[in-house]
Chains A and B, each alone.
Chain A
Amino acid sequence: MSYKAKFKVWRGEGGEGKLEDFTVEVNEGEVVLDIIHRLQATQAPDLAVRWNCKAGKCGSCSMEINGKPRLGCMTRMSTFTEDETITVTPMRTFPVIKDLVTDVSFNYEKAREIPSFTPPAGVRPGEYRMKQVDVERSQEFRKCIECFMCNNICHVIRDHEENKPAFAGPRFLMRIAELDMHPYDVADRQESAQEEHGLGYCNITKCCTEVCPEHIKITDNALIPMKERVADRKYDPIVWLGNKIFKRAK
């Protein structure tokens, strides 16, 4: 059942580093993270990898396996052939601290830029009444485990470091959508989604949806609906006119 697999693992501190070759035992039922741990325990005790729950729930062990962003703990070795060389590298969009560990502080800074949930004044805890159908859309987005692989793969910042200040990334544009669709949120988020958080940079090429380990339909359910809401606000003269008249009538 067990065999020797060939691995190439990116090792280095800061940006400098290279792919190092390893030959390592693989047993039935194992995932890539197990193999990285075996390397730590047997050949490279200081090989750095970030991990936590090992069940695809915390989103810590994001890495790139054969060029694709994956969670190490959810990538079964049985998806590779035994003679395949498996290349493991850190996420490319974020600076490297060491080996497979990247500095993901970009994401935490962006999280801070999104205004928090803003309930209407006067609703006390325990008084919230929301129907299931009204919370389901936002609930889908709250499945996010913050592995940041969507932000990692998004070419807007992956290929263009200079866009980082202007672009919140799929994760946080989805957070805006989550709040904008929240039945009790009263903050105005549509204008700022476009102007401050860079929704317009998204060209809906859907890589965020492809890599999402939680299978959240980021593009179809969050980004495009948000683009449509922004279009209501900024680019649709009829809706604009309708709102003017309606507001006046009120």
Chain B
Amino acid sequence: MEIERHEYDVVVIGAGGAGLRAAIEARQQGKRTAIVCKSLFGKAHTVMAEGGAAAAMGNVNPDDNWMVHFRDTMRGGKFLNNWRMAELHAKEAPDRVWELEAWGALFDRTKDGKISQRNFGGHEYPRLAHVGDRTGLELIRTLQQRVVALQQEDFETHGDHEAYIKVFAECTVTRLLKDGDRIAGGFGYWRESGNFVVFDAPAVVLATGGIGKSYVVTSNSWEYTGDGHALALLAGAKLINMEFIQFHPTGMVWPPSVRGILVTESVRGDGGVLRNSDGERFMFKYIPEVFKDKYATTEEEGDRWYTDQANNRRPPELLPRDEVARAINAEVKAGRGSPQGGVFLDVSTRLPAEEIKRRLPSMHHQFKELADVDITAEPMQVGPTCHYIMGGVEVDADTGAAAVPGLFAAGEVSGGMHGSNRLGGNSLSDLLVFGRRAGAGAAAYIDSLPARPKVVQELVEEAHTEALAPLGRSGENPYEVHHELQRTMNELVGIIRKAEEVSEALEAVEKLKERVQLVGAAGSRIYNPGWHLAIDLRNMVLVSECVARAALLREESRGGHTRDDFPGMNPVWRRKLLVCSTEDGSSVTVEEKVQPSMADHLIKLFDRDELTKYLTDEEMTEFDGIAKS
């Protein structure tokens, strides 16, 4: 068997923000690095991020610092976050943003020439570095151009652009390869030719993003099929927090073909308000107990906040995403929805048309082009859309290392950082902070290795057989199976969950697993989307099972996991992480694990009153001990 082979020190799977940042770090530390991505270079889903990158630089409000950011992040995640990750993230985000500027990023500026920062849901101070509403594009382009800059350096010294960092675009990894328990590389195929490729590498960084394509209504692109999650599971790593999925409150609801596409939170940050069909600003009814003292209770106060943030509380439209999504869901269910099944998001009566076009250019563009709606003249219709999975590969906070030696993960595919709910803007900074750490972690791991692991040939052959299988079958159309999986997940493991429905979903997923074994793809291996989907289905089904199993077990409602039958938050569950793994590669087992307690210096950043809302009595006693010392 003759297959194209490449030898690298680090293989980064995924070329979004986290993947590129990891690759840049690995290359800067002198490692030969491959970036393998399913799409073209620079097209990754990070471009869709609109609002900004949260970093406590304090450029707009000097009171901001990493401790405030840390507190906001923990609150947003309902204290389920991996506190060490939240700490590192809050501390390092400013450096990561400044570094981008030195690589050519052009953020919007404050009057004194610093990086401007904007308000966002759940952030106490204006904190998001941004460029209009296309921050993700700026971030990915800057990192892409940084990779090119490094390649130019390499060309100067080695005469070859790709001597130390090479992009394998439109190449999909289907299996991680091991030598014993260690990672030894990966197996994949070129979309363009259908030819197979083996990477020999002692370290693999997963940065594949999320799993949104398992849902019908999603803001995620086709790439988000949970590849990294599945690859990690299949390689023996563990996933945590898979039950927590963020439904972004404001996705487009019409026209049907763009249903789910994101309407940035900046619309609300810049003054947009949510109304139901009665014209009522309904969010005031949905301020939960834990946030009562932080949000305005009258429209007047909420409106004053936009101009005077020191003396007013923020409007409830800026509650964390899970709260807003649930509120919209409830309004629609109560029959107060908009004609096309969402609610109204109105910025047209709040800001002058010119101002809207200046602050929200791509939203203006998106609605004009896709829905023929002029957002400066009429309200948008919006509804919740599957946006982000908080869960992912369980990693070491400092290095991004997963349980399998040589495997690293960063960005959306890793779990823990965001707890049960991610704050807007924390994603882009997460990519940068942990992308860098995973790249550095991989480099350090390689330095500590006594010998390079070798790819076991049988594994290559197995992967090869597996990848080719759908082409040899004449079974069911993969599109139908995919669609059924999406419907199942959307309807039964969606934004509001019940034990019976989730159980039903698990049964359905079992059946889908069998169907996935039989799907066939017609046509050749050259750029054959049916074949690619057939291969991706394995990952989507596996990950969907993780989501459903964890969702069934967690008997409380917290952040991105809402159980109709267990509506409240339960402090006992806060200490438990649900850990998914697979023995045989097809069935998932979930185990409980105790969440380690927050470090003393961090827990002391919170008021006792606030902690009592989240912690058990036992933990509170411990806290009182710490507070005294």
8 example contacts (A-B, Cβ-Cβ < 8 A) are as follows: A46-B528, A53-B45, A55-B48, A57-B47, A60-B40, A101-B192, A116-B145, A135-B106
* Per-residue B-contact encoding for A115-155, CB less than 8 Å = 1, 0 else: 11101000111101111100100110011111000000000
Contact B221 A53 (CB under 8 A): yes
Which B residues have a C-beta under 8 Å from some C-beta of A? 39-43, 45, 47-48, 94-95, 98-99, 101-104, 106, 108-109, 112-114, 116, 131-132, 134, 137-138, 141, 145-146, 148-149, 151-152, 161, 192, 221-223, 254-258, 261-262, 362, 365-366, 369-372, 477-479, 521-524, 526-531
Chain A residues lying within 8 Å of B531, measured Cβ to Cβ, are 46
Known A-B contacts A52-B43, A58-B221, A131-B113; the reply to A116 vs B101 at CB < 8 A is: no
Contact B137 A117 (CB under 8 A): no
Assess whether A31 is interfacial by the CB under 8 Å rule. Answer: yes
Chain B residues lying within 8 Å of A56, measured Cβ to Cβ, are 365-366, 369-370
Known A-B contacts A29-B255, A116-B152, A125-B101; the reply to A97 vs B192 at CB < 8 A is: yes
* A238 → B minimal CB distance (Å): 32
| Bound CA span A53–B212, Å | 12
| Among B101, B146, B528: residue with most chain A CB under 10 A | B101
Chain B residues lying within 8 Å of A40, measured Cβ to Cβ, are 479, 529-530
* B144 → A minimal CB distance (Å): 8
Assess whether A111 is interfacial by the CB under 8 Å rule. Answer: yes
Contact B151 A112 (CB under 8 A): yes
Assess whether A41 is interfacial by the CB under 8 Å rule. Answer: yes
Scan residues 49-64 of chain A and give those whose CB is less than 8 A from a CB of chain B: 49-60
Chain B residues lying within 8 Å of A232, measured Cβ to Cβ, are none
| Bound CA span A116–B147, Å | 10
Chain B residues lying within 8 Å of A117, measured Cβ to Cβ, are 103-104, 145, 149
* B369 → A minimal CB distance (Å): 5
Write the chain B residue with the least CB distance to A49: B529
Known A-B contacts A57-B137, A182-B106; the reply to A97 vs B98 at CB < 8 A is: no
| Bound CA span A223–B478, Å | 47
Assess whether A104 is interfacial by the CB under 8 Å rule. Answer: yes
Contact A52 B148 (CB under 8 A): no
| Bound CA span A112–B145, Å | 9
Cross-interface CB contact of A55 among B141, B366, B529, B530, cutoff 8 Å: B366
| Bound CA span A131–B116, Å | 11
Contact B257 A30 (CB under 8 A): yes
Assess whether A224 is interfacial by the CB under 8 Å rule. Answer: no
**How many A-B contacts are there with CB distance less than 8 Å?**
174
Cross-interface CB contact of A126 among B95, B148, B152, B528, cutoff 8 Å: B95
Contact A132 B109 (CB under 8 A): yes
Contact B255 A30 (CB under 8 A): yes
* Per-residue B-contact encoding for A139-178, CB less than 8 Å = 1, 0 else: 1001111100000000000000000000000000000000
Chain B residues lying within 8 Å of A144, measured Cβ to Cβ, are 141
* A220 → B minimal CB distance (Å): 18
Contact B529 A146 (CB under 8 A): no
Interface size on A, residues (CB 8 A): 62
* A166 → B minimal CB distance (Å): 20
Contact B529 A45 (CB under 8 A): yes
| Bound CA span A57–B103, Å | 22
Cross-interface CB contact of A146 among B42, B114, B524, B528, cutoff 8 Å: B42
Assess whether A108 is interfacial by the CB under 8 Å rule. Answer: yes
Chain B residues lying within 8 Å of A27, measured Cβ to Cβ, are 256-257
Chain B residues lying within 8 Å of A78, measured Cβ to Cβ, are 372
Chain B residues lying within 8 Å of A143, measured Cβ to Cβ, are 134, 137
Chain A residues lying within 8 Å of B261, measured Cβ to Cβ, are 54-55
Assess whether A24 is interfacial by the CB under 8 Å rule. Answer: no
Q: Which 5 A-B residue pairings sit nearest by Cβ, starting from the closest?
A: A29-B255, A46-B523, A117-B104, A129-B113, A116-B149
Contact A52 B39 (CB under 8 A): yes
Assess whether A196 is interfacial by the CB under 8 Å rule. Answer: no
Chain B residues lying within 8 Å of A58, measured Cβ to Cβ, are 39, 43, 47-48, 221
Contact B255 A51 (CB under 8 A): no
Contact B131 A29 (CB under 8 A): no
Contact B528 A74 (CB under 8 A): no
Contact B258 A138 (CB under 8 A): no
Known A-B contacts A104-B40, A115-B152; the reply to A45 vs B477 at CB < 8 A is: yes
Cross-interface CB contact of B106 among A31, A52, A142, cutoff 8 Å: A142
Write the chain A residue with the least CB distance to B522: A45
Chain B residues lying within 8 Å of A54, measured Cβ to Cβ, are 221, 258, 261
Assess whether A234 is interfacial by the CB under 8 Å rule. Answer: no
Known: A29-B371, A52-B221, A103-B192. 12 other contacts (CB 8 A): A45-B477, A52-B45, A55-B261, A56-B370, A57-B137, A111-B148, A115-B152, A124-B102, A125-B98, A131-B113, A142-B106, A146-B42
Chain A residues lying within 8 Å of B102, measured Cβ to Cβ, are 119, 123-125, 128
| Bound CA span A139–B106, Å | 7
Contact B366 A131 (CB under 8 A): no
Chain B residues lying within 8 Å of A76, measured Cβ to Cβ, are 369-370, 372
* A181 → B minimal CB distance (Å): 10
Chain B residues lying within 8 Å of A29, measured Cβ to Cβ, are 254-258, 371
Assess whether A210 is interfacial by the CB under 8 Å rule. Answer: no
Contact B256 A41 (CB under 8 A): no
* A12 → B minimal CB distance (Å): 11
Assess whether A197 is interfacial by the CB under 8 Å rule. Answer: no
Scan residues 14-62 of chain A and give those whose CB is less than 8 A from a CB of chain B: 27-31, 34, 40-41, 45-60
Cross-interface CB contact of A135 among B41, B109, B114, B365, cutoff 8 Å: B109
* B147 → A minimal CB distance (Å): 10
Write the chain B residue with the least CB distance to A33: B257
Contact B369 A52 (CB under 8 A): no
| Bound CA span A48–B106, Å | 36
Scan residues 76-129 of chain A and give those whose CB is less than 8 A from a CB of chain B: 76, 78, 97-99, 101, 103-104, 108, 111-112, 115-117, 119, 123-126, 128-129
